[in-house]
């Protein structure tokens, strides 16, 4: 392996420590405790794991964690009423509705019912519009984490060729907006992109957010490029024993690491940064709500 490994776990721990220290100062100087409300509807096992992790990390950072678990058949109106209550609750500075929601619930309607100032996921159309127009927004946590790692590695990103593969509202599109804001030349690729290999080979910065195990091989990568692998895919791993599985990204790590200049591993790359950024966004929301200076 020739690429530098980007250690998202260590970076996330650093952010977590900074947030924890800032929360302690908020408490000591202003008597404030940031609060994050997480709403989970249904029994999706992956969502339950995410919510549990978010909960304990919130508490560990010294913030209040409020969890609202509702059955899968919860009526949409009941969920909207809960959001309204949380919007009005001064102890709640951040609201996160765990996606996906059950099919009978209009996710856009629910997300857009959240007070944009408390929308720590950055999915509300107001925050999407603010980000797209270069204004102060709540920025979605996963792309924010990717950007922080890129800035940490390179400093100024301006002028670099960036290719983002995947155009979802939660990762690909906001990632492209953030890279554009940092003056990269951005290409947003997707399932209809022609000759994706050639497009990827142009990239100084390649962000993969597709959800297809190891689909990007090393020979799609420009020598020396920085590769950020957002994908989290569980695949069978019979070599580890019968019925065993393992996590892989959207990039074929072994071949990519021979070509790239730097690369995030899966797991231990982008994943840990997402929750760290969620805590940072909750702290920012609390600071803004109280007219205080925002954390760096
Ligand atoms: P979505 O399924 O919402 O979007 C996937 C995108 O990939 C779509 O834009 C789709 O294109 C594109 N795509 C699909 N197949 C191809 C292909 N063959 N070639 C090029 N593009 C393709 O996924 P998400 O954005 O929600 O998530 C992407 C990955 O990131 C998943 O593995 C997910 O688990 C992971 N993830 C990780 C997070 C973390 O914390 N690390 C957080 C969020 C997601 P089209 O629009 O044309 O259909």
- CA angle centred on 110, ends 277 and 89, rounded to 5°: 70
Q: Identify whether residues 53 and 94 lie together within a single domain.
A: yes
The 10s digit of each residue's pLDDT in 105-128 is: 999 999 999 999 999 999 999 999
The 10s digit of each residue's pLDDT in 32-87 is: 999 999 999 999 999 999 999 999 999 999 999 999 999 999 999 999 999 999 99
Residue ranges at the known binding site: 166-168, 232
Please indicate, yes or no, if residue 17 is contained in any of the structural domains. no
Cα–Cα distance, 15 to 8 (Å, whole number):
10
Q: Identify whether residues 162 and 212 lie together within a single domain.
A: yes
Q: Identify whether residues 78 and 184 lie together within a single domain.
A: no
| Residue-range definition of the domain harbouring residue 180 | 141-272
98 is catalytic: yes
Q: Identify whether residues 258 and 157 lie together within a single domain.
A: yes
**Burial level of 192, CB count in 10 A (0-12/13-18/19+)?**
exposed
Q: Identify whether residues 90 and 210 lie together within a single domain.
A: no
Sheet holding 185-189, edge to edge: 4-5, 262-263, 226-229, 205-208, 161-165, 185-189
What is the whole-number distance in angstroms between the Cα of residue 211 and the centre of ligand 1? 5
What are phi and psi for residue 146, nearest 5 degrees? Answer: -60, -45
CATH of the domain at 57: 3.40.50.10860
**19: Cβ contacts below 8 Å, ≥ 6 apart:** 61, 276, 279, 280, 283, 295
Ligand 1 contacts CB of residue 144 (under 6 A): no
What pTM was estimated for this model as a whole?
A: 0.97
Q: What confidence tier does 1 reach under pLDDT thresholds 50, 70, 90? A: confident
Q: Identify whether residues 61 and 100 lie together within a single domain.
A: yes
User: Would you say residue 190 has pLDDT above 80?
Assistant: yes
Tally of structural domains, the chain: 2
ipTM over 0.85 threshold? yes
What is the whole-number distance in angstroms between the Cα of residue 6 and the centre of ligand 1? 21
Ligand 1 contacts CB of residue 163 (under 6 A): no
The answer to whether the CB of 54 falls within 8 A of the CB of 250 is no
Ligand 1 contacts CB of residue 213 (under 6 A): no
Q: Identify whether residues 97 and 196 lie together within a single domain.
A: no
Catalytic residue among 119, 121, 182, 204: 121
CATH of the domain at 208: 3.40.50.720
């Amino acid at each position: 392996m020739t690429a530098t490994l980007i250690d998202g776990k260590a970076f996330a721990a650093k952010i977590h420590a900074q947030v924890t220290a800032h929360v302690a100062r908020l408490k000591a100087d202003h008597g404030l405790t940031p609060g994050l409300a997480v709403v989970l509807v249904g029994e999706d096992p992956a969502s339950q794991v995410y919510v549990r992790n978010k909960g304990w990390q919130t508490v560990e950072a010294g913030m209040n964690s409020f969890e609202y678990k509702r059955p899968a058949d919860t009526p949409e109106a009941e969920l909207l009423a809960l959001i309204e209550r949380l919007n009005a609750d001064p102890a709640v500075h951040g609201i996160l509705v765990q996606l996906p929601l059950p099919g009978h619930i209009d996710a856009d309607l629910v997300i857009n019912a959240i007070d944009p100032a408390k929308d720590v996921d950055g999915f509300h159309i107001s925050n999407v519009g603010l980000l797209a127009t270069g204004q102060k927004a709540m920025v979605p946590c996963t792309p924010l984490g990717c950007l922080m790692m890129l800035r940490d590695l390179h400093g100024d990103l301006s002028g670099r060729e960036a290719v983002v593969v995947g155009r979802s509202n939660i990762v690909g599109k906001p990632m492209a907006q953030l890279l554009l804001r940092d003056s990269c030349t951005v290409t947003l690729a997707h399932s209809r992109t022609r000759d994706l290999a050639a497009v990827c080979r142009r990239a100084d910065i390649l962000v993969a957010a597709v959800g297809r195990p190891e689909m990007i091989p090393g020979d799609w990568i420009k020598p020396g490029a920085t590769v950020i692998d957002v994908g989290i895919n569980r695949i069978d791993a019979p070599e580890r024993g019968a019925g065993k599985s393992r996590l892989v990204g959207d990039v074929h790590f072994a071949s990519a690491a021979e070509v790239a200049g730097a690369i995030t591993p899966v797991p231990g790359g982008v994943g840990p940064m997402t929750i760290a950024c969620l805590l940072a966004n909750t702290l920012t929301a609390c600071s803004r709500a109280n007219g205080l200076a925002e954390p760096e």
